Amino acid sequence: MSSNSGDTSGQIPEEVAEFLVESYENLDRLDQDLVILESDLHNKETLSSIFRTIHTIKGTCGFLGFEKLEKVAHVGENLLSKLRDGVIMINPGITSALLSTVDAVREMLSFIEQENYEGNGDYSALIELLASMTNGTLPQPSQGSNPATVPSSAPTSQDPISPPEEVQPEIHEPIKVGESSFVFNKKVSKPAPPQEPVSIAASTSEQVTVDEPLAVSPISDVSKDATPPNRGDVDKDKVVTSVSDANIRVDVGLLDKLMNLVGELVLARNQILQYTSSQTDSSFVAASQRLNLITSELQEGVMKTRMQPIGNVWSKFPRVVRDLALSVGKNVAIEFEGRETELDRTIIESIKDPLTHLVRNSVDHGIETPEGRIAAGKARDGRLILRAYHEGGHVNIEIADDGAGINPDRIRANALKKGLFRADQLDKMSEREITNLIFAPGFSTAEKITNVSGRGVGMDVVKTNIEKIGGTIDIQSTPGEGTTIKIKIPLTLAIIPALVVAAGGQRYAIPQVSLVELVRLERDQAKVDIDSVYGAPVCRLRGNLLPLVYLCDLMHTSTKKIEDEAVNVVVLQADERQFGLVVDNVVDTEEIVVKPLGKQVKNVDVYAGATIMGDGRVALILDVMGIAQRSSVISEVRDRKLSELSASSTLEVGERQTLLLLGVGDSYRVAVPLSSVDRLEEFPSDALEWAGDNQVVQYRDAIMPLIWLSSTLGVPSATEVDSASIQVVVHSGHGRRVGVVVDRILDIVAVNMNLEKCSIKSQVIGSTVINDRVTDIVNVDEIVQSALVNFIDSSNFALAGYGG
């Protein structure tokens, strides 16, 4: 396990620094508690709180190996436990002794902070005193004597507590008021030395006013003067000030609010910058440039306050991996790289579950059993490496294992079996695309169901969750060598870079994460490169066909574009697919603040939110996934939708469907959902054979029965009996293939169906108008079923050998 080395407090290890901060806070509370206790002897609650505090310190320093400190805390704890249990009654002597204990602890802590050990102070007298009080042998020590035996804390601790009686009201108040918002050190409540910052501010503003009439350069000097001290001093302070002073706990809600305010400031800044571009007044221009600079830095700074190292999420993984590995009989070592990589806390929250799932998955499915590993010539113990690093405004997280890897053939077979894809679709996919199929909904390669899989979070959910926060997930696997899952997520969600485009007289923002490239096709080129396949526009881009979506058409707004002008294509990435969004204009790139939409518009899937542009107008942020789905660019979704439809034998009215147009008889036109079509085949007439009463063909090592669509629908066939070949639509359902013989295969069309029921035939779902012709939509499943009943009982049919 690698841990981060460069930390803020010089030599002190991180966990010690944390311990110090925590202990100082606790000690401050202890001071108050003890004083409260003195005035209210029977306050059980305060007593237990004191006990807990000392107990925590004792426990932690024992863990960290500060024995001396532990000893002192231990005797203190013993005394406290007696007090708590009512064996000993508290008296001023005991309170003083306890306060001395606090001082002693504080002293040691400050030694630890500076020298990393507890110092040379001799606390045996104190320990003895406490012990004797605990045993009741020294019940009433005089008040003055015991503090004297204890080294005074005043010279060592930075800000010695003044007489506790005075502190009490002062300290107690603010903490009560602050309650949840701040747990701060007493030192914080002490007014900070006011002179310095004020004088800096004063001198800066003076300089500004003096320099204002002058040109740009002096002001930029000011900004230089003004900014570096902030940064430099902070770093220096960290070294100089004590750990407790360098940290302060802040309510997360406050940080969120600050972030929102900074978001507003960014918008206001954008607005001013836009206005500035039309101004000539140089001092105004300079001032707004400075505003720009400061805003950016402030944004960065506030964002940092919400950052958390990813190690926070990872810290529970060793346990998760250990438990899981044990339960499945594997040996897995987990390693971390880049624990300190920071992420916005909202993002940390939302990647917690996906990461856990991926880690579990790697252990469960990726890494082999020790025997399997040895057989494969690998080390007995599997390795799981979690890696995180920043890369260009993003954070990359990798989960790599050296397990068996993913076998693309198995995925292919599984996808086919589950009916997610057709064989021809799978054939066209690259190995990587196939591997990434494990993210497809309804997919699982787990051969055995363990208590790990089947927990309700599939890989598709992981993918969805990652995408929800604007991230991407990719999987690379080498069979036999291992699998690496790479997640790329934005640093923050609040402010994102976006491309601003215009269409139909309106501006839209597109998050840059989904942006692949911008393509501008000049008039002549556009005519050549933009084509249509069955009415669906596509663009030829470096030899590939890129489906196009016209933003104006999608939004049902009219374009102001003239036919002859150049075409702007914004190439976007949605899922594994790319598509081109045709817009009227590409305006600019801008940092935008994502704002949520009201309930009334939230349900429109093409918007991810809205933002306010430089000119104060609202612009909608496009949801690239939503657009892809609405325009059916993502085939999986479309295919899935269609297969769901055919499964339920109903077609939703008004939905866009891809249909296979068929001709039956002389003029009868029917259409079937493309999803119910397995393949289109042409068989020579002499391939037709008989099996019992059925006409069949040999197809893919099996016997496939044929059904004549014309006779099923009661329409005279137009195919001549002696024609050389037959057109067959291969349909597979219920694990077998059936060929539906049609007269003509006409076209594949995507249409918005408005079905009317004109026929009472059960095979006909309804009628609609496609390409100016009335077309019946038929249910292939139903046809096959009804036709097969005429042949044989379907259970016998299955025995006849189809599908295995």
Partner 1 sequence: MSQKILSEKQYCTFYLDNHFLGIGVREVQEVLKYQPMTSVPLADDVVAGLINLRGQIVTALDLRKVMGLAHLDGRLPMNIVVRSDDGPLSLLVDEIGDVVEVEADFFEDPPETLEVSFRHLIRGVYKLEGKLMLVLDLERAVFSLVDA
Cβ atoms of 339 and 314 closer than 8 Å? yes
Using the minimum distance from each CB to partner 1, give the nearer residue, 303 or 621: 621
Question: Is 416 one of the binding residues for partner 1 (CB under 8 A)?
Answer: no
Which tokens go with 191? Answer: 């007014």
Residues 504-533, interacting with partner 1 (CB under 8 A): 504, 506
User: Nearer to partner 1 by C-beta: 357 or 507?
Assistant: 507
**DSSP per-residue string spanning 206-224:** HHHHHHTTS-HHHHHHHHH
Which is nearer to partner 1, 56 or 557 (by Cβ)? 557
What secondary structure does DSSP assign to 182-195, as a single string? Answer: EE--HHHHSPP--H
Min dist. Cβ of residue 582 to partner 1 (A): 15
Contact assessment for residue 675 and residue 632, using Cβ atoms and an 8 Å cutoff:
no
Q: Which of 326, 446, 601, 774 binds partner 1 (CB under 8 A)?
A: 601
Residues facing 680 on adjacent strands = 729
- How near is the Cβ of 621 to partner 1 at its closest, in Å? 11
Pairwise CA distance, residues 674 & 677, whole Å: 5
Whole-angstrom Cα distance, residue 348 to residue 316?
14
Distance CA 622, CA 682 (A): 44
Tell me which stretch binds partner 1 (CB under 8 A): 167-175, 359-367, 459-467, 613-621: 613-621
* Residue closer to partner 1, measured from CB, 191 or 598: 598
CA distances from 389 to 348, 396, 494 (A): 14, 5, 20
Helices (H), 453-495: 459-468
Should residue 400 be labelled a site residue for partner 1 when binding is judged by CB under 8 A?
no
Interacting residue with partner 1 among 546, 620, 706, 783 (CB under 8 A): 620
Give the total of residues touching partner 1 (CB under 8 A).
27
Beta-carbon contacts of residue 34 (< 8 Å; ≥ 6 apart):
50, 95, 98, 99, 102, 164
Phi-psi region of 114 (alpha: psi -120 to 50; beta: other; left: phi over 0): alpha
Which of these segments, 3-11, 114-122, 548-556, 751-759, binds partner 1 (CB under 8 A)? 548-556
Q: Which listed residue (163, 456, 598, 714) binds partner 1 by CB under 8 A?
A: 598
Strands 332-337 and 382-391: parallel
619 is a site residue for partner 1 (CB under 8 A): yes
> Minimum CB separation from partner 1 for residue 250, in Å?
24
Q: Give the three-class secondary structure for 53.
A: helix
Tokens of 159: 């800000």
Interface residue with partner 1, options 1, 202, 533, 604 (CB under 8 A): 604
Among positions 541, 607, 747, 800, the unique one binding partner 1 when judged by CB under 8 A:
607
Pick from 715, 708, 705: nearest CA to 776 = 715
Q: What is the token pair recorded at 804?
A: 């295995």
354 vs 614, beta carbon nearer partner 1: 614
User: 109 and 18 in contact (C-beta within 8 Å)?
Assistant: no
- Kindly tell me which of 246 and 555 has the beta carbon lying closer to partner 1: 555
Q: How far is the CB of 177 from partner 1 (least distance, A)?
A: 29
> Shortest gap between Cβ of 593 and partner 1 (angstroms)?
9
Closest Cα partner for 763 from 775, 780, 746? 780
Select the residue interacting with partner 1 from 304, 527, 617, 773 (CB under 8 A).
Answer: 617
* Spatial distance between the Cα atoms of 503 and 484, rounded to a whole number of angstroms: 40
User: CA nearest 749: which of 681, 669, 683?
Assistant: 669
Among 383, 595, 744, 761, binds partner 1 (CB under 8 A): 595
Nearer Cβ to partner 1 (508/699): 508
Instruction: Find where tokens 């990872």 sit.
Output: 314
Q: Which is nearer to partner 1, 238 or 595 (CB)?
A: 595
Segment interacting with partner 1, rule: CB under 8 A, options 291-299, 311-319, 390-398, 596-604:
596-604
Residue placing its CB nearer to partner 1 in the complex, 285 or 554: 554
| Least Cβ distance, residue 581 to partner 1 (angstroms) | 14
CB of 362 to partner 1, least distance (A): 41
What's the CA gap between 613 and 156, in Å, rounded?
56
Provide the CA 651 distance to its chain's centre, in angstroms.
Answer: 35
Among 286, 612, 624, 661, binds partner 1 (CB under 8 A): 612
Cβ proximity to partner 1: between 324 and 621 the closer is: 621
H helix or E strand, kind and range, residue 196? helix 195-211
Stretch that binds partner 1, among 160-168, 412-420, 489-497, 614-622 (CB under 8 A): 614-622
Quote the least distance from Cβ 546 to partner 1, whole Å.
Answer: 23
Q: What is the Cα 21 distance to its own chain's centre?
A: 31
Give whichever of 185 and 631 is closer to partner 1, judged by the CB atom.
631
According to CB under 8 A, which one of 293, 586, 597, 750 is a site residue for partner 1?
Answer: 597
Q: How far apart are CA 128 and CA 256, in angstroms?
A: 50
Q: How far is the CB of 575 from partner 1 (least distance, A)?
A: 21
Strand 567-574 vs strand 577-583: parallel, antiparallel, or unpaired?
Answer: antiparallel
Contact pick of 94, 491, 548, 610 for partner 1 (by CB under 8 A): 610
Least separation in angstroms between residue 500's CB and partner 1 is: 13
What pairing do the DSSP bridges indicate for beta strands 544-550 and 577-583? parallel
Mask 555-594, x = binds partner 1 (CB under 8 A)?
Answer: xxx-------------------------------------
Tell me the closest approach of the beta carbon of residue 657 to partner 1, in angstroms. Answer: 19
Three-state DSSP class for residue 240:
helix
For residues 777 and 134, give the distance between their C-alpha atoms in angstroms, rounded to a whole number: 91
Chain-centroid distance, C-alpha 176: 37
Q: Which is nearer to partner 1, 596 or 714 (CB)?
A: 596
Closer by beta carbon to partner 1, 107 or else 591: 591
Comparison of 115 and 264: residue with beta carbon closer to partner 1 = 264
Whichever of 102 and 620 has its CB closer to partner 1, that residue is: 620
Q: Which residues contact 491 (CB under 8 A, 6 or more apart)?
A: 303, 343, 344, 347, 390, 393, 394, 395
Residues 233-292 that bind partner 1 (CB under 8 A): 264, 267-268
Residues that bind partner 1 (CB under 8 A): 264, 267-268, 504, 506, 554-557, 595-601, 604, 606-607, 610-612, 616-620
